[in-house]
């Protein structure tokens, strides 16, 4: 049976509820994460609340009556559930299509288990077809763009301000064969807050919605 991409996102969001046991849950940003919030609301009696990776997610969680905790109140999270723009068989992800990459990386850093929820269009052999988002301090925009051109990319300024008051450069035409190295290299550019490669801290579990059902990779 052929499902729409939205139906696949809904199915995988539902499957992720298996990883929600108790305590405080890390919640990502984007349309797949939004479907997850709807499912989380149905089991909110099991949890104490959530940590949000964006203001939009925080607002949506509160709208469902789920308490949102500040990251600074949290030492560790059992689970962080979020989508991705691309993911490989090595669990390396490219994220930040929704512009929340920095907060997503911060929440992911304290999570014991990162559960990535995706539809099958996101599963790729090599990262980089989706433009790589890089969050940059506004005053460093041009300088960082020049450095990204030297790395072989074509940065384009997104018409967007992040929750942290910064800008995003979307870098086109990168073929990212070694995501761990590229993640570190771009983060070394002065003025970069972070980039959308999640390779140093990959996903632990991938729930992938396919036409044949939700597949689990660990
Ligand atoms: C937001 C993200 C999202 O996880 C990513 O863009 C996927 O979004 P969607 O679930 O809407 O396809 O990284 O910053």
pLDDT tens figures, 185-211: 999 999 999 999 999 999 999 999 999
Q: Which residue, by CA, sits nearest to atom 8 of ligand 1? A: 30
Classified as helix, coil or strand, 116 is: strand
The pLDDT of 38-60, averaged and rounded, is 97
The answer, yes or no, to whether residue 7 has pLDDT greater than 80, is: yes
The answer, yes or no, to whether residue 73 has pLDDT greater than 80, is: yes
Predicted local confidence at residue 175, as pLDDT = 82
In 26-175, alpha helices (H): 31-42, 55-63, 101-109, 141-150
SS3 content of the chain, % helix, strand, coil (to 5): 35, 30, 35
Q: How many whole angstroms from 6 Cα to the centroid of ligand 1?
A: 13
Distance in angstroms (rounded) separating the CA atoms of residues 40 and 24: 12
| Catalytic residue numbers, as ranges | 104
The pLDDT of 38-48, averaged and rounded, is 96
Nearest to 163, CA basis, from 78, 59, 73, 11: 59
- State whether the beta carbon of 30 lies less than 6 angstroms from ligand 1: yes
For residue 126, is it left (φ>0), alpha (ψ between -120 and 50) or beta?
Answer: beta
The answer, yes or no, to whether residue 2 has pLDDT greater than 90, is: no
Structure token pair of residue 81: 């559930």
Predicted local confidence at residue 1, as pLDDT = 64
Number of Cβ within 10 Å of residue 16's Cβ equals: 24
Q: Determine what percent of the chain is predicted with pLDDT higher than 70.
A: 100
Q: Determine what percent of the chain is predicted with pLDDT higher than 90.
A: 98
8, 13, 54, 83: residue to mutate for ligand 1 pocket, most atoms within 8 A of CB: 83
The answer, yes or no, to whether residue 37 has pLDDT greater than 70, is: yes
Give per-residue pLDDT as tens, 87-116. Answer: 999 999 999 999 999 999 999 999 999 999
The answer, yes or no, to whether residue 40 has pLDDT greater than 90, is: yes
- pTM comes to 0.95
∠ at Cα 52 (101, 41), nearest 5°? 130
Distance in angstroms (rounded) separating the CA atoms of residues 208 and 53: 21
194, β-bridge pairs: 135
Distance in angstroms (rounded) separating the CA atoms of residues 69 and 51: 5
Q: How confident is the model at residue 13 (pLDDT cuts 50, 70, 90)?
A: very high
85-89, 129-133, 162-166, 173-177: which has the minimum mean pLDDT?
A: 173-177
16, 55, 56, 84: residue to mutate for ligand 1 pocket, most atoms within 8 A of CB: 84
∠ at Cα 20 (19, 23), nearest 5°? 135
């Amino acid at each position: 049976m052929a499902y729409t991409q939205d139906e696949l996102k809904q199915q995988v969001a539902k499957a992720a509820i298996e990883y929600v046991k108790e305590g405080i849950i890390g919640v990502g940003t984007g349309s797949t994460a939004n479907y997850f919030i709807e499912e989380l609301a149905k089991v909110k009696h099991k949890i104490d609340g959530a940590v949000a990776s964006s203001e939009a997610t925080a607002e949506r969680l509160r709208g469902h009556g789920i308490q949102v905790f500040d990251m600074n109140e949290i030492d560790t999270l059992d689970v962080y559930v979020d989508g991705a723009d691309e993911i490989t068989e090595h669990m390396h992800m490219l994220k930040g299509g929704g512009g929340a990459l920095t907060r997503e990386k911060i929440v992911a850093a304290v999570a014991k288990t990162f559960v990535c929820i995706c539809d099958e269009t996101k599963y790729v052999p090599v990262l980089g077809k989706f433009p790589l988002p890089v969050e940059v301090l506004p005053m460093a925009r041009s300088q960082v763009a020049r450095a990204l051109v030297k790395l072989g990319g074509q940065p384009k300024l997104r018409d967007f301000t992040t929750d942290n008051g910064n800008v995003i450069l979307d870098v086109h035409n990168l073929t990212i064969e070694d995501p761990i190295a590229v993640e570190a290299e771009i983060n070394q550019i002065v003025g970069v807050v972070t980039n959308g490669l999640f390779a140093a801290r990959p996903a632990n579990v991938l729930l992938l919605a396919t036409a044949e059902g939700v597949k689990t990779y660990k």
